[in-house]
Amino acid sequence: MRDNEEFLKETVEPGVFLEWQQIDVEVYSFTDLGVKVIINDEYMGLVYGDQVYKDYQQGQQLKAYIKSVREDGKIDVTFEPKKGAHVLSTAEMIMEHLRAAGGASGFNDKSSPADIEETFQVSKKVFKQAIGKLYKQGKIVISDAGIALVKPS
């Protein structure tokens, strides 16, 4: 863990970061609000707790995204890419899950948010958007029993 919090900037001037810009972060600490991160070795940012879907370790280095720069200059960060890209990567993860499970899975739009989060590390909303996309593309079928790969005819 770093001992240089006093050298990190708590706020940023407008225009330094763009919304959804990819950044390098280091997990700094855990607070009641969420996960404090160090952005590009220079700024402090925060990922709100309701947007954290995985367990992170102090000192862990990863990619993240600027969610917004608030009026007070504080930086809100997210570990998830912009919605469309996140749904696409989740759809790919679901396809891999189905192939590994022999083509069928008990997950569907009625699955519990906790089960979805544990298996896919995404919210139920993103999961539902991803299976909806796969269904519309004709890649999966959705039933009360779960989801399954469409058998090639």
Here the CATH number for the domain that contains residue 129 is 1.10.10.10
**Cα–Cα distance, 69 to 91 (Å, whole number):** 29
Does the predicted TM-score (pTM) go above 0.75? Answer: no
CATH assignment of the domain containing 30: 2.40.50.140
Q: How long is the chain?
A: 153
Domain boundary residue, one of 46, 78, 110: 78
> From CA 116, how far away is CA 129, in angstroms rounded?
13
Position 3 pLDDT exceeds 60: no
pLDDT at 152: 61
**Residue 40 shares a structural domain with residue 20:** yes
Q: Is residue 117 very low, low, confident or very high in pLDDT (cuts 50, 70, 90)?
A: confident
Residue range 7-36, pLDDT digits in tens: 789 999 888 898 888 899 999 999 999 999
Question: Which structural domain range is residue 139 located in?
Answer: 83-149
Of 49, 78, 107, which one is at a domain's C-terminal end? 78
Q: How many domains does the chain have?
A: 2
Name the domain boundary from 78, 112, 133: 78
12 and 47 housed in the same domain: yes
Cα(65)–Cα(10) distance, integer angstroms: 17
**pLDDT of 52-80, one tens digit each?**
878 899 999 999 999 999 999 999 999 88
Residues 65 and 123 in one domain: no
Give all strands (DSSP E) within the chain, no chain letters.
22-30, 34-39, 43-48, 61-69, 75-78, 104-105, 140-143, 146-149
What is the distance between the alpha carbons of residues 143 and 134, in angstroms, rounded to a whole number? 14
Quick one: 88 and 54 in the same domain?
no
Q: Residue 138's pLDDT is what?
A: 93
Note whether 24 and 55 are same-domain residues: yes
Both tokens of 57, joined, read 């370790």
